[in-house]
Amino acid sequence: MMRPAYAQPLFTLTTGPVDVYPAVSRALAMPIWYDYDPAFQACFERVSLKAAQALASETPPLILQGEPVLALEAAAASLIGAQDVVLNLVSGVYGAGFADWARRYTSQVEELRVAFNQVIDPLELDRWLTQHPDVTVVAVCHHDTPSGTLNPLDEIGRVVKQHGKLLLVDAVSSFGGTAVTAASCQADVFVTGPNKCLGCPPGLSLVAVSEAGWQKISSNPAAPRASVLSLLDWRYAWQADQPFPYTPSIAEINALEAALDIYLQEGAEQVWARHALTAQAFRAGIQAMGLSLWAESESIASPTATAVRVPSGVNEEQWRLRARESYGVMFSAGRGETLGKVLRVGHMGPTAQPMFAIIALTALAGALNQLREEQIDIAAGIAAAMQVIG
């Protein structure tokens, strides 16, 4: 039977950029204002305060112009000085990568590392910090997207605070999709972005800094100023009567407001619940079809993305592109250590709806069956997913 070839994907079920909510799409098309138009200045303050509410942050989060990679580099540059001893918690590719930035600013970077399909053990962290009282900053990636695993962030935060250290959190691909805020994990620098679970296009990042965090950054002589890597430049820019260090992305700010409105109106708990349900249904389906998760146990699997182990003998790229070509569904590849070993499916923002678990299972299994003799049982997968969805 003839199969269509899709010039454009029908469904973008990746780990980001994700498709955006329709209202976000329309917000992008709003007239572009001058950044010092009083109406835009008021808008920027309003959006900053809505972000503060969503992130439960001590001070309004900075809205930086650039996807969160910028924010993470800027956070390292701003927070970490030559005297700091950084403990970097590593449970995946993104967590490991943060060390490169940290080492630019201090020679003392330590690492607590687990296999990339496991997560950090807070007890182990506690022991480690007890043995290394000189540590000043602990860095952790909440959801290491290349692995689809979620560190026990709130517990980690509790341990870090018990030891009186500063905590730098990368919650880029978890915030908005699961119960995590700057407050809940006691982060001093909490980095996230609207282009994952908030359902915005890429182009911005959000950085919430605690009072203690600002104190540390302010007293760091090496913290950048007059630079796109500066957090300090933006500290008070959220106030309508303060200048912008440079021109904000007007269209993306409008989009962010639309996304925050959706998030706050639907209610965080309701949003988290549909992320969880979608991921759970998807995982049930995957396993019922005889495929397996990358995560060592389902209990550490992220509700916002699932990394599916590539069966032996299967070429991941062929698999992924076949799903795109035959079903119009776009998935993500792995990264670094997981590249070629996993195919990743996002459950984020507008796609965090159970029906997208069905779509993902169908496309992923259908493509696999096209590629090899051995056939997996799509029907069993759908049945298992529907069992979860109800």
Q: Which of residues 105-164 bind a copy of itself (CB under 8 A)?
A: none
Rounded to 5 degrees, φ, ψ at 205 are -135, 160
233 to 252: interface string for a copy of itself, x by CB under 8 A: ------------xxxxxxxx
Q: Does 227 bind a copy of itself (CB under 8 A)?
A: yes
Task: Round to whole Å and give the CA distance between 353 and 275.
Answer: 7
Mapped onto helix, strand or coil, the DSSP state of residue 178 is: strand
Q: How many helices (H) and strands (E) does the chain have?
A: 13, 14
The minimum distance between CB 347 and a copy of itself, in angstroms, equals 13
What is the CB neighbour count within 10 angstroms for residue 93?
19
Of 92, 152, 303, 354, which lies in the binding site for a copy of itself, with binding defined by CB under 8 A? 354
Residues near a copy of itself (CB under 8 A), total: 90
Q: How far is CA 122 from CA 141, 152, 155, 389, in A?
A: 14, 7, 6, 32
113, 87 Cβ separation under 8 angstroms: no
Q: How far apart are CA 43 and CA 49, in angstroms?
A: 10
- Count of positions (residues) in the chain: 390
Phi, psi angle pair for 35, to nearest 5° = -65, -25
Beta strands in 152-267 (DSSP E): 166-170, 189-192, 204-209
From 120, 112, 167, select the one nearest 143 (Cα to Cα).
Answer: 120
**Stretch 251-280 residues interacting with a copy of itself (CB under 8 A):** 251-252, 255, 270, 273-274, 277, 280
Query: What is the residue whose two structure tokens read 């119009």?
Result: 328
Of 89, 98, 116, whose CA–CA distance to 309 is shortest?
Answer: 116
- The CB-of-80 to a copy of itself minimum distance in angstroms stands at 15
**According to the binding rule CB under 8 A, does residue 355 interact with a copy of itself?**
yes
Stretch that binds a copy of itself, among 34-42, 78-86, 140-148, 161-169 (CB under 8 A): 34-42
> From the list 39, 82, 115, 222, which residue makes contact with a copy of itself (rule: CB under 8 A)?
39
Supply the DSSP symbol for 59.
S
Supply the angle between the helices 38-55 and 250-266 in degrees, to the nearest 10: 40
**Nearest distance from residue 386's CB to a copy of itself, in Å?**
5
Site for a copy of itself in 181-200 (CB under 8 A): 195
Q: Within positions 48 to 87, which residues make up the interface with a copy of itself, using CB under 8 A?
A: 65-67, 69-70, 73
Contacting range for a copy of itself; rule: CB under 8 A; set: 14-22, 117-125, 176-184, 302-310? 14-22
158 vs 244, beta carbon nearer a copy of itself: 244
Within 273-312, the residues that bind a copy of itself by CB under 8 A are 273-274, 277, 280
Stretch that binds a copy of itself, among 8-16, 124-132, 150-158, 300-308 (CB under 8 A): 8-16
- Binds a copy of itself by CB under 8 A, chosen from 141, 229, 256, 308: 229
CB of 89 to a copy of itself, least distance (A): 20
Per CB under 8 A, does 208 bind a copy of itself? no
